[in-house]
C-alpha cells in the first residue's frame, strides 16, 4: 500500500485544533536564498486562490516579516486562461515594509520580483555562501561587482 501519494495535507492542522490552549497558523511561502547552505529567508508570502475576495489575515506573517526585516506579500492567484497550461495570473499586495495597493501583475512580473530578491541578497553581500556563489549563481557577469 502506498501512503505517499494521497496523504492528508491538513492532518497535522486538524490534530492541532483538537487541543485547547494552543494555537498555530500556517505560513504559505518562505522565499529563501537558492544557494545550498545559505537558505536565508528573503520574503514571506501568504497565498490564496483568487475568488474575487481580496482579504486574508496576515497579522502573524507581517509580525514575522518585521522581526526578520524581510518583505511580506499577500498573493492571490488563478489560472491564466489566455496562456493556459500551468501559467498563473496574480493580484498582489505588499504588506510590509509598506502596505501597498492591490495590483494585477503577470506571472513574469512576479517571477522577476522573486529573482530580484535573490540578486539583491547576493549583491548586498548578505548571502552566507557569497564566496562560493560565483560558480553556482546563475547571474550574468555584469551583475557581479
Ligand atoms: Zn544566500
Angle (nearest 5°) at CA 79 between 59 and 98: 30
Using one digit for the tens of pLDDT, what is the confidence trace for 66-87? 999 999 999 999 999 999 999 9
| Residue 97 CA, ligand 1 centroid: distance in Å | 21
State phi, psi for 6 to the nearest 5 degrees: -120, 40
Does 115 score more than 50 pLDDT? yes
- What does the domain layout of the chain look like in residue ranges? 24-143
| Residue 35 CA, ligand 1 centroid: distance in Å | 5
Check residue 9 and give its pLDDT: 76
State phi, psi for 46 to the nearest 5 degrees: -95, 135
Residues 81-105, buried b or exposed e (16+ Cβ, 10 A)? eeeeeeebbbbbbbbbeeeeeeeee
H helices present in 1-102, as ranges = 11-17, 59-68
| Residue 140 CA, ligand 1 centroid: distance in Å | 17
**Which pTM does this prediction carry?**
0.84
Which residues fall inside 5 Å of ion ligand 1, going by CB? Answer: 33, 35, 38, 40, 127
| Residue 117 CA, ligand 1 centroid: distance in Å | 10
| C-alpha span between 46 and 95 (Å, rounded) | 10
Peptide bond into 97 cis (omega under 30): yes
Find where cell 495535507 sits.
9
Amino acid at each position: 500500500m502506498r501512503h505517499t501519494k494521497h496523504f492528508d495535507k491538513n492532518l497535522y492542522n486538524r490534530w492541532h485544533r483538537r487541543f485547547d490552549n494552543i494555537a498555530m497558523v500556517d505560513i504559505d511561502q518562505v522565499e529563501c536564498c537558492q544557494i545550498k547552505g545559505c537558505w536565508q529567508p528573503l520574503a514571506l508570502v501568504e497565498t490564496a486562490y483568487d475568488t474575487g475576495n481580496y482579504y486574508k489575515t496576515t497579522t502573524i506573517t507581517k509580525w514575522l516579516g518585521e522581526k526578520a526585516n524581510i518583505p511580506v506579500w499577500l498573493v492571490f492567484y488563478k489560472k491564466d486562461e489566455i496562456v493556459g497550461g500551468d501559467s498563473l495570473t496574480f493580484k498582489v499586495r505588499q504588506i510590509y515594509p509598506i502596505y501597498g495597493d492591490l495590483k494585477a501583475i503577470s506571472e513574469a512580473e512576479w517571477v522577476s520580483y522573486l529573482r530580484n530578491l535573490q540578486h539583491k541578497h547576493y549583491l548586498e553581500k548578505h548571502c552566507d555562501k557569497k564566496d562560493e556563489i560565483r560558480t553556482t549563481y546563475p547571474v550574468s557577469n555584469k551583475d557581479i561587482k
